[in-house]
Amino acid sequence: LAGGITIALDAMGGDLGCEAVVKGAGIARIRQPDVHYEFHGDEALIAPLLEEDAELKAVSSIHHTDVAVAMEDKPSQALRKGRRVSSMWLAIDAVKQGRAQAAVSCGNTGALTVMSRMILKTMPGIERPAIAAIWPTMRGESIVLDVGANVVAEKKNLINFAIMGEAMARTALGQPTPSVGILNIGAEEMKGNEDVKGAAEFLRDAELDFDFQGFVEGDDISKGTVDVVVTDGFTGNIALKTAEGTARLIGDYLSSAMRRSWASQLGYLLARGAFNVLRQRMDPSRVNGGVFLGLNGVVVKSHGSANAEGIAAALDLAIDMARNDIIKKIAADLEQVQDARDGDAANEAAPAKATEPTPA
């Protein structure tokens, strides 16, 4: 497959097992020509599934391992049993070896974070990678990061998230000059913790080639006020799951409301085309897949409970990132920002805190 893209799949990590992964690849294959799929997992399970889809089989290879990282494993346990041998490790390693241009896993987020970082290493200037998610909005789609790779983010991490998210938005959303905002509890400049204030100040003053819009609030995410919403992984993960929970709650309200009278039941029948459209738009698998940004390679984290459609969406995203060589774009942007950062660091170094005891 000269010129094509190879995607390495961790076929063992998800809640629904190999079947969802192979079927997901089958759906993605129809949409995405010229892609090779490298399945890492139990050959005895994967091979029969590929037999059912001759066209997928023709563009696939199986790399056998029967070691899987479990959802409940702590990252340290996952490493002890899975280092160099688990389907998750081997899929990421295919990217490191240059055999694949992206890895996709539905597995344990903590283990995936640790293994990806260990194998691919962070890009120069990046301490903490982030997971970026695509979020449906009133204007289309936005990117939100970090949604859970880290529990804390300092000023410099938030700045890097902004740079990386902006590069991803150009690729994934096709926005030539994406707008960027930092999530905060008020749009006013004086609100928020020191890290969000510091990051906003830097991005406002750094004169980067960058459409920085300052602070945005929680309700701005769904409004689509900006193309890229920057936050720490703790807040971002909770915001993402809160939105999922709210969507389910409203779906629940809606279906119980529709059952309350014969008129509403009839109305529901007449409008079922519209409800199907709504259901599709609210379907979390439609925008499944978080991209690890800041590593020397593309790794996409699919929802653990993703079905075949969800996995296909994660594969689309991985293929898009690989085709557009997102890593090179981010590297170029990080270089652009490094000068501004050096200047900023020099300013900050001046009033240094005397934390070291002075020798007597």
| Cβ nearer to a second copy, comparing 96 with 117 | 117
| Cβ nearer to a second copy, comparing 152 with 345 | 152
User: If binding is defined by CB under 8 A, does position 242 make contact with a second copy?
Assistant: yes
User: If binding is defined by CB under 8 A, does position 218 make contact with a second copy?
Assistant: yes
| Cβ nearer to a second copy, comparing 58 with 271 | 271
DSSP β-bridge partners for residue 62: 39
The answer to whether 199 touches 328, Cβ cutoff 8 Å, is: no
Q: At what angle do helices 155-172 and 308-323 cross, to 10 degrees?
A: 90
Minimum CB separation of residue 158 from a second copy in Å reads 13
| Cβ nearer to a second copy, comparing 160 with 235 | 235
Provide the Cα torsion 344, 345, 350, 351; round to 10°. 90
Rg (CA), the chain: 22
Minimum CB separation of residue 99 from a second copy in Å reads 32
Q: At what angle do helices 326-349 and 155-172 cross, to 10 degrees?
A: 150
User: If binding is defined by CB under 8 A, does position 285 make contact with a second copy?
Assistant: no
User: If binding is defined by CB under 8 A, does position 252 make contact with a second copy?
Assistant: yes
- Binding string to a second copy for residues 148 to 187, with x set by CB under 8 A, is what? x--xx------------------------------x-xx-
Sign of the C-alpha dihedral, residues 182, 184, 186, 190? negative
| Contact residue for a second copy among 30, 58, 85, 249 (CB under 8 A) | 249
The answer to whether 14 touches 302, Cβ cutoff 8 Å, is: yes
| Cβ nearer to a second copy, comparing 101 with 231 | 231
Minimum CB separation of residue 266 from a second copy in Å reads 5
Which residue stretch of 46-54, 126-134, 206-214, 267-275 sits at the interface with a second copy (rule: CB under 8 A)?
A: 267-275
Which residue stretch of 114-122, 252-260, 290-298, 299-307 sits at the interface with a second copy (rule: CB under 8 A)?
A: 252-260
| Contact residue for a second copy among 17, 122, 211, 268 (CB under 8 A) | 268
Minimum CB separation of residue 138 from a second copy in Å reads 6
Minimum CB separation of residue 268 from a second copy in Å reads 6
| Count of Cβ atoms closer than 10 Å to residue 10 Cβ | 30
Which residue stretch of 24-32, 61-69, 276-284, 315-323 sits at the interface with a second copy (rule: CB under 8 A)?
A: 276-284
Pairing of strands 290-293, 130-137: antiparallel
| Contact residue for a second copy among 7, 69, 208, 221 (CB under 8 A) | 221
User: If binding is defined by CB under 8 A, does position 199 make contact with a second copy?
Assistant: no
Minimum CB separation of residue 102 from a second copy in Å reads 25
Q: Which of residues 27-66 bind a second copy (CB under 8 A)?
A: none
Which residue stretch of 94-102, 115-123, 124-132, 229-237 sits at the interface with a second copy (rule: CB under 8 A)?
A: 229-237
**Residues forming the site for a second copy (CB under 8 A):** 72, 74, 110, 136-138, 148, 151-152, 183, 185-186, 188, 190-193, 217-223, 231, 233-235, 237-250, 252-254, 257-258, 260-261, 263-264, 266-275, 277-278, 281-282, 357, 359-360
